[in-house]
Amino acid sequence: MRALVRETTLAAGDLIQPLFVTAAERGEEIPSMPGISRLSVEESVAEAGAVAAAGIPAVILFGIPASKDEQGSGAYADDGIVQTAIGAIKAAHPELIVIADTCLCEYTSHGHCGILRDGQVDNDPSVELIVRTAVSQAAAGADIVAPSDMMDGRIGAVRAALDDAGLTDTAVIAYSAKYASAFYGPFREAADSTPGEGDRRGYQMDPANSAEAVREAELDLGEGADIVMVKPALPYLDVVRRVKEATGAPVAAYHVSGEYSMLKAAAANGWLDEPATVLETLTSIRRAGADLIVTYYAKEAAQWLS
């Protein structure tokens, strides 16, 4: 009878699995994210198949290039690691939606999400490189590009450039409300993208703000975003709710690396019942108003749900 009156559903079809793809020949485990590895292109194709078989409709790709430079040129190289992985995954699993995270931070030697001038991220030249990255990912076959850099004006610029290139069917997920969060720690270990100097507070949002999140989401929708994202998820459920109610747009929430690692660590110690706490967490994110959830638990959660 509880099921009959349940207000919120959680299904594999709501989840998106992140994959880290490395240019190295062999993948390796990420110590702070048990169960998640950096994958070679070949391994990522196999993992994408396992994810699809679990009923998950989409993966989001992050690249770890062989080398990094000041301009993050690996991000927009047509033979870059993510471009290569997109082609290989789409060829093997055409029905799986492939989302490309669009950012420079995994590719810049300084680890910032844009290029620097006098030690500061320079917004407009950074947007130009983000645009090049998005177009090259879409040309490689990405179904969706997801700019996560938080530069101003990038969604409109990406949309216009995709359209100019004839890539009118490529959708855009905007990381609209991306907070300057300490919960990204394990990701930065995974992607080796901790800023060398300074931090990301110049472009990522202040955790103390939520009206600003609504403004950011509205701006991105006005610039052509198809889906807006709030990130992290669990500490920002009020923001998910506000953005959903204010915009009515499809909202994604990113259950980030630190949120994953906390649950994994507690479970490994026997302090929490892992399937129960994970499914409760993901249900809470859905209840707050998220249509989609990006989570490192996607594949495992799908198995627990089946």
Footprint of ligand PBG (CB under 6 A): 101, 103, 105, 113, 148-149, 184, 187-188, 200, 256-257
Nearer to ligand PBG, 59 or 105 (CB): 105
β-strand 28-29 against 120-121: which pairing, if any? unpaired
What residues are labeled active site?
A: 178, 231
Nearer to ligand PBG, 246 or 284 (CB): 284
Residue-wise over 96-129: b if at least 16 C-beta within 10 A, else e?
bbbbbbbbbbbbbebbbbbbbeeeebebeebbbb
DSSP state letters, 264-281? HHHHHTTSS-HHHHHHHH
Nearer to ligand PBG, 10 or 100 (CB): 100
Shortest Å distance, C-beta 183 to ligand PBG: 6
**Which tokens sit at 79?**
């033979």
- The four Cα atoms 108, 30, 50, 175 give a dihedral, to 10 degrees, of -40
Shortest Å distance, C-beta 162 to ligand PBG: 20
Nearer to ligand PBG, 8 or 120 (CB): 120
Shortest Å distance, C-beta 31 to ligand PBG: 15
Which residue in this structure is represented by tokens 């299904």?
Answer: 11
β-strand 15-22 against 58-64: which pairing, if any? parallel
Shortest Å distance, C-beta 263 to ligand PBG: 13
**Contact partners, residue 219, CB within 8 Å, separation at least 6:** 155, 176
